[in-house]
Amino acid sequence: MPEGAQAELEAATQALDDLFAESADVLAGLGSYRYTTTFSFTAKEGGEPESGSIEMHGTVASSERQSLTWKDLETGDEFALTRVGARTWIREGEEWTEVPAMVADAMSQGILVFSPMMGWGAFAEGLQASSNYVGSETVNGISARHYTSTYSEWSESWSGDVTDAKGDVWIAEAGYPVRYRLTANSLDEEGNRGTILWTMELSDVNAPISIEAPQDAGEEIPVAP
């Protein structure tokens, strides 16, 4: 390859790496947005097939005003969480109840792994190594650049058993992820195979969104001594 062409290729690759690396910071800097994520898997454990699928709808009005609804699509189980400042409420069934901060933090760690803020960082790190530009598209009313990747051993994002993975990502012209669809296949040491599908849609970016405390909230759940 001519020296000039090689330099141009390296510059384009670096620009793509920078785009993905910086996209998580741009996402964190958004004033408000809504998102929907889905996560599903199929696997075999001890020869028995297993599967699961969840959907999460979230709203971010600011760093201190957020809400989400989490649903198990197979069982129909559902609960919601609303945070306003230092206070957090959960809803199971029809009733809202305020929970202590330490309880809310513990719950959030397991749930918010499926949110764009927590999930995207690892994806961006893994995707940037081998992504190809597809074209400019409008996604959820947002002008975005579409990239696709297909490669093996996606070790940056999934530990251990991933044999191959692929993804399509739409990065807004402003630099944040507006949509992604990622799949991976796994094979463990015992020969069990599995598949994972993870999708995200972002909308209403920097729109005027209001999140208030639930009006029908019950008393706070005490923490056991």
- Using left for φ > 0, alpha for ψ between -120 and 50, and beta otherwise, residue 47 falls in left
What pLDDT was estimated at residue 138?
A: 96
**Angle, to 10 degrees, between the axis of helix 116-127 and the axis of helix 3-28?**
170
Task: Name the H helices within the chain.
Answer: 3-28, 101-111, 116-127
Q: Where are the beta strands (DSSP E) in the chain?
A: 33-45, 48-62, 65-72, 78-84, 87-92, 95-99, 131-139, 142-152, 162-172, 177-187, 193-203, 217-218
**Model pLDDT for residues 83-140, shown as the tens digit of each residue:** 999 899 999 888 898 988 787 778 777 777 778 887 787 677 666 656 788 999 999 9
What pLDDT was estimated at residue 126?
A: 65
- pLDDT lower than 70: segments of the chain: 1-17, 45-47, 122, 125-130, 151-162, 217-225
* Architecture of the structural domain at 3-218: Clam (2.50)
Which of 211, 196, 192, 217 minimizes the C-alpha distance to 49? 192
Amino acid at 112: L
Give the pTM. 0.81
What pLDDT was estimated at residue 16?
A: 60
* Eight-class DSSP state of 142: E
What pLDDT was estimated at residue 15?
A: 56
Parse the chain into domains and list their residue ranges.
3-218
Burial status of residue 122 (CB atoms within 10 A of its CB: 0-12, 13-18, 19 or more): middle
What pLDDT was estimated at residue 10?
A: 42
